[in-house]
Structure 1
Amino acid sequence: MKAFVTGGTGFVGANLVRLLLQQGHSVRALVRPSSALDNLQGLDLELVNGNLTDPNLVRSLVGCDALFHVAAHYSLWQRDQSVLYRSNVIGTRNILAAAKQAGIGRTVYTSSVAAIGVDPSGQPASELYQSPVEKLVGAYKQSKYWAEQEAIKTANAGQDIVIVNPSTPIGAWDIKPTPTGEMILRFLQRRMPAYVETGLNFIHVEDVAWGHLLAWEKGISGERYILGNQNLSLKQFLDSLSQLTGLPAPVRSLPAWIPLSVAWIDEKVLTRFGKAPSIPIDGVRMAQHPMYYDATKAIRDLGLPQTPIPTALKDAVNWFVSKGYAKTG
């Protein structure tokens, strides 16, 4: 296969590119002129400059067999609503149309569990659950919902598109880093004196990459597959980090009103005086409900790997330390 990959410079994309190359496929990656290419250094692939709104996207895609549309703009800041819609929704619409014109055989679209939402019953949500869009917290989650609707609509019109919904990946090449990577770094740097009562579904990022390839091989067009593994409370996650590194885990939990108040002051007040905000309101609002998911469908139908989360944490810590982000001693 010759694969066209968007978002290859990012966390999931860089792991997917490596997997595709390891499995003998060739890769053409779309990169913005302003993108840092550190995650792709030394790899044998073709780079094309551009972005998701370019009128020449069709020309860039011609000659490829598959499209892996991984790219997305991620931000929890309320000020970024228009950017999120333009990048995630309009960008997805554009590249899916270009893929059709270019004769791409199959597309794997990277959505997110953010587009599914949280089941109010407290049970882990499966692909069958869908939160009303107005109940999704924040512009990012809503943009991923509307972008997924573009993929579903296009698949219903006859284009071959499989949707994957990763949960919370952990591992190497988290260059930015992601919010979860930032949490690991804060732990390693002894900057986490307390935690909030919440939970997430975690998965090794290499398993997420495999989920994309398996979706291309085995997935059914128009269906979505949650790429997840283990549901853990944030306290359990931090305790695992403590066992791995020998560093103490925080023992105090914060009531929700404290980080919410700090975030509101940070984002709504201090930004008016030129201070860059550090805690997004929507991020705190999301954390008020555990975000648990059920990946049974992807495990059963695709053969999604389930690497133990301690292994994923070890790989993430080792990568951050090797790249100079933090020390373990």
Structure 2
Amino acid sequence: MDFAGDRVLVTGATGFVGSAVARALAAKGAQLTLLVRAGSDRTNVTGLDAVLAEGDLRDEASVLRAAQGCRYAFHVAADYRIWAPDPEEIIRNNRAGTLAVMKALKAAGVERIVYTSSVATLLPDDHGAADETRPATPEQAIGAYKRSKVVAERLVEDMAADGLPVVIVNPSTPIGPRDVKPTPTGRIVVEAANGKMPAFVESGLNLVHVDDVAKGHLLAIEKGRTGQRYVLGGQDVSLGVMLADIATIMGRKAPTVRIPRGVLFPLAYANEAWCRATGKTDPFLTVDSLKMAAHNMYYSSAKAEAELGYRARPYREALADAIDWFRAMGKIA
């Protein structure tokens, strides 16, 4: 699809997935308007030919101003924290932000919308790869972030049923360049590449190049069915294999010590308590992350492949790109 001459709004373009979506749109000729928070890190939008509209996701009026004249919109932004001193804050932010953005886009008359959800809204399948037919309830989701995405996705589905022209995409676990924060998975890549993960809790992830996720967003706005959700994933990989691949790229010895989850729960509780006491906001080990590790988070993109023409490259290419970028940023020695 060619976006030449089309004004397109993107939220979350200063973030990891949002910046990839914005760059994919720019390559297709879109005239970009990027909704950004005042004082946000603009590293990921440097060099992009775009209008930067300052606003807040929870402020419907600021989103409406940014959306004026936009034919399409991609709502990628979210409060992406796995942990917070007040977990309910994550749920409140993602629900209120999604509601305000969708109402503003409807009021602005945007023709077509893609909402970025997450595979966090789907129940894992311990016997295989989960897909769009396994929606979770908020009560079934582990942790505040996953609950918040379930709540927000159900809200979007209800608005789609009322006529909002929105398609939902569910990225799995993206890796690759421009992970400035970094994401929890990006932190694993950095720590492992620097030789600081001699042991691990075994689990499973579906890893995908962030630029393939971005291409999936563009396919969704072109071919996706209103109100439908589409998993945008890559390859199912155990954490042990991922760490071994990182070690191979870095010329290091792969970690082989597997730690039982149970013995780490006291450390996770202590780590969270320390963060509350010190004001830190990004514990590396949390209770919810250990609970999540009990399930292999494997997912199928068959629906997106069949309906959208979505494809993902081998995950090792994404891993290599991520390591190259982190090294260039000085995060990997």
- Classify the TM-score, shorter chain: over 0.9
CA distance in 2, matches of 1:235, 1:65: 44
Is the deviation greater in 47-56 or in 20-29? 47-56
Deviation by residue 1:217-269 (Cα, 9 ceiling, x = unmatched): 1000000000001101101111221222222210100000122221011113x
Q: Percent identity?
A: 42
Q: How does 1:135-174 map to 2 (within 5 A)?
A: 135-174=140-179
Return 5+ residue gaps in structure 1 as ranges. none
| Contact 1:62–1:102 (CA under 8 A) maintained in structure 2 | yes
Any idea what SS the aligned residue of 2:174 has? Answer: strand
Say if 2:137 is the partner of 1:132: yes
Say if 2:329 is the partner of 1:306: no
1:117 to 115, 123, 134: 123
Counterpart for residue 39 of structure 1: 44
Say if 2:278 is the partner of 1:274: yes
Is the deviation greater in 8-17 or in 242-251? 242-251
1:283 to 274, 289, 296: 289
Say if 2:45 is the partner of 1:49: no
Counterpart for residue 64 of structure 1: 70
| Contact 2:84–2:90 (CA under 8 A) maintained in structure 1 | no
Counterpart for residue 26 of structure 1: 31
| Contact 1:196–1:254 (CA under 8 A) maintained in structure 2 | yes
| Contact 1:260–1:285 (CA under 8 A) maintained in structure 2 | no
Counterpart for residue 98 of structure 1: 104
2:21 to 16, 22, 40: 16
CA distance in 2, matches of 1:266, 1:122: 32
Counterpart for residue 332 of structure 2: 326
| Aligned residue type for 2:156 | A
| Contact 2:131–2:299 (CA under 8 A) maintained in structure 1 | yes
| Aligned residue type for 2:86 | D
What is the Cα-based RMSD across aligned positions, in Å? Answer: 1.3
Q: How does 1:169-318 map to 2 (within 5 A)?
A: 169-268=174-273, 270-271=274-275, 273-274=277-278, 276=280, 277-318=283-324
Deviation by residue 1:41-91 (Cα, 9 ceiling, x = unmatched): 111111000111223321221100111000000112252323212221111
| Aligned residue type for 2:246 | L
Return 5+ residue gaps in structure 2 as ranges. 1-5
CA distance in 2, matches of 1:218, 1:273: 49
CA distance in 2, matches of 1:37, 1:46: 13
Counterpart for residue 3 of structure 2: none
Give the TM-score of the pair, scaled to structure 2.
0.94
| Contact 1:66–1:107 (CA under 8 A) maintained in structure 2 | yes
CA distance in 2, matches of 1:114, 1:67: 22
